[in-house]
Each structure stands twice: as structure tokens, then as C-alpha cells.
Amino acid sequence: MAETQRVDKWLWYARFFKSRSLATKFVAEGKLRVNSTRISKPAHGLVVGDMLTFVKAEQVRVIEVANLGTRRGPAPEAQQLYNDQSPPPPKKEYIPPNPKFEGNGRPTKKDRRQTDAFHAKRLD
């Protein structure tokens, strides 16, 4: 029988979460897929070769389990537990400076309101 390890424990060992309780909560909310199957039990067993898919920090992560951990060690040790197959993050869009403000001193309150409105409009 293949060795298994709890998914919440593995996520904590691999340093995807600061605490095991955060990893447990994440899995319990159903935000993790193992081999394209959504799981919601933190005690789900992982084996070497499983593929994990989840969203962390607004980035889709696709992780292949390379090893099962024995402890939460330093970051270089944690990185040996997985192979990251995530797509590259999208490039940030360049936002040009306010064309009315030409660098002559501080912007006026009116300039500031226009800049804030411009940024708020781009976020919608």
C-alpha cells in the first residue's frame, strides 16, 4: 500500500500556509482540487504524484506532489516536496500617469480627485 499523508499537513509542510489550522480551513471550505476532484476533508490522503489545484494570492497554483514531508523545515527543504506546474502570472497592465499633471510641484486636490476616479474606474 502506498504511503499517504493528510492534505492539510502536507500543505503546511510545503509552506503554502503559515499554520496548519489555516490549511485545514482552506481545505474544509472546498477550495482545493486533488487530481481535478474537489475535496473538502482535511484528512484526505495524498500520495506522491497527486496534482493539487488551488487559488492562492489571486494566482492559480498547479502543484505536483513530489515527496511527502516529515517536518516543516526551511523553505529550500519545503520546495523539494513539490513541482510547481502553475501557469505564469499575468503581466501587470501599465497605468500611465495623469496626463494633466506635468510634474510641477504637488498635484492639486482637483488633480488628486481625477486620479482617484481614474484608478477606481479601471478597477471596476
Which CATH code for domain 5-84? 3.10.290.10
**Distance, CA of 59 to CA of 55 (rounded, Å):** 5
17-73: pLDDT as tens digits:
999 999 999 999 999 999 999 999 999 999 999 999 999 988 899 999 999 999 999
At 57 the pLDDT is: 87
In the chain, residues under CATH classification 3.10.290.10 are 5-84
The overall pTM is greater than 0.75: no
Contact 41, 23 (CB under 8 A): no
